[in-house]
Amino acid sequence: MMSGTSADGVDLAAIDIEGAEVRLVSSSRYDYPEDLRERVLRAAAGEAVGAAEIAALHVALGDSYAEAAAALVGKLERPPELIAVHGQTVAHVPSRHATLQLGDASRVAIRTGITTVCDFRSADMAAGGEGAPLVPFADWVLFAKRAPVTLLNLGGIANLTLMPTDRKEDVIAFDTGPANMVSDLIARRAGRRFDDRGQGAARGRVDDDALAWALRNDYFARRAPKSTGREDFGQPFADELTQRVSRDGGTHDDMLATAIALTARTVADGLARESPKGAQWRELIVAGGGAMNTTLIERLREAVGPLRVRTMDELGIPVTSREAVAFAILGAYRIRGLPNTLPSATGAKRAVSGGAIHHP
């Protein structure tokens, strides 16, 4: 079960896994009620949220996860061995080796009667890592046989996984910067949750001055491994970008177009900067909610061409299920006591078996 930085709900995926062989059994989606989403966004933005509200939100999210898990489990032919819950990130501060995901996994375990794994990031941080990105470990399990290959997830944040060989020691992975996060925040100004299929961005014009300002953010110049979140590219960043476009006489659609251009440019720059010398990538495989943004995919193809860009749907995994599948894999490795992180991606001193286990 995966809740991303877009904070709009939970993606669920049920898998069968035997060794490195993974088969998707079922997938589903659970949208947060609007009031819960607003509470999550306020907490993530640090808007006067006290300890009591954080505790209550932890419980409310846990109950929502339990409801979503029970619904999917009830549709399966047999109950799963375990449930893996990423939780909802409300703070990610890698410079202080701190991260916080809410959602009481005990409530999932008790409601479903199934062992539940959560808190996947803390162990990596305790080992000196940034606690992110973690999905590249699952990418290696799923796609190492396709190397040399690159994978891109477009959630609230965009992250790249580079696999020049099939060896996990050679995997390079990092967050490139914002994907849907800034665009979604801009869309909220017009009363929408997101720019559906990028239609607004397609009508807009990129503000080159505003884009140049955004590209000067210190994060983009840092080398991998690195990770980011709302602390860098949340509401204040989106507000400044929109103000700069507005001062230049730009429209709401121009703001969306500029945000999309920022994502495409920083993905392409990150790929060029971190690719090992001589790497000849076969393809860029894209997943995440942003993969359904037609305009963003078009801008990506322009930015990384002539590299072939394809969506994960073509490989049998729905684009919105990639991270849910990934955390199911991480949970399976955790319950077996096996390492489920890549130090080359997180910067940790060693690989760990991350995750807290809750029995029903």
What digits encode the pLDDT tens for the residues 231-264?
899 999 999 999 999 999 999 999 999 999 999 9
Asked if residue 184 is part of any domain, the answer here is yes
**144, 104: one domain:** no
Note the pLDDT of residue 194: 92
Residue 1, domain member (yes or no): no
**Averaged over 104-133, what is the pLDDT?**
97
Q: What is the mean pLDDT of residues 310-331?
A: 94
- Asked if residues 213 and 244 have their Cβ atoms less than 8 Å apart, the reply is yes
Has residue 266 got a pLDDT over 80? yes
Does 260 map to a domain? yes
Q: Is the pLDDT of residue 280 over 80?
A: yes
Give the CA count within 13 Å in the CB-facing half-sphere of 332.
Answer: 21
Average pLDDT rounded to a whole number, residues 207-230: 96
pLDDT number for residue 46: 82
In this structure, are 268 and 340 located in the same domain?
A: no
How far apart are alpha carbons 132 and 159 in whole angstroms? 10
- The pLDDT of residue 49 is 82
CATH number, position 37: 3.30.420.40
Which whole number is the average pLDDT over 287-306? 96
Same domain as 267, residue 174: yes
At 300-314, the pLDDT tens digits run: 999 999 999 999 999
Same domain, 234 and 252: yes
Residues 222, 326 share a domain: no
Q: Are residues 190 and 274 in the same domain?
A: yes
Is residue 172 one of the residues assigned to a domain?
yes
Please state, for a pLDDT cut of 70, what percent of the chain lies above it.
100
Do 65 and 174 belong to one domain?
Answer: no
Q: Say how many domains are in the chain.
A: 2
Residues 131, 86 contacting (CB under 8 angstroms): no
Average pLDDT of the residues in 122-141:
95
Q: Is residue 4 part of a domain?
A: no
- Please calculate the CA angle 123-128-133 and round it to the nearest 5 degrees: 65
Percentage, residues of the chain above pLDDT 90: 91
pLDDT per residue as tens digits for the range 1-60: 999 877 889 999 999 999 778 999 999 999 999 999 999 989 988 886 899 999 999 999
Output the pTM of the full model. Answer: 0.90
pLDDT tops 80 at residue 321? yes
In this prediction, residue 118 carries a pLDDT of 98
The residue range of the domain holding 17 is 9-133+321-358
Same domain, residue pair 96 and 240: no
What was the pLDDT predicted at 204? Answer: 98
In a domain, 150, yes or no: yes
What is the C-alpha separation between 323 and 332, in angstroms, rounded?
A: 14
Residues 141 and 210 in one domain: yes
Q: Mean pLDDT across the stretch 178-191? A: 95
CA angle 117-120-121, nearest 5°? 160
Assess whether 263 and 180 both reside in one domain: yes
Q: Say if residue 148 is in the same domain as residue 287.
A: yes
Number of H helices, E strands in the chain: 15, 12
Does residue 131 carry a pLDDT above 90? yes
- In a shared domain, residues 219 and 82: no
At 59-82, the pLDDT tens digits run 999 999 999 999 999 999 999 999
Whether 2 maps to a domain, the answer reads: no
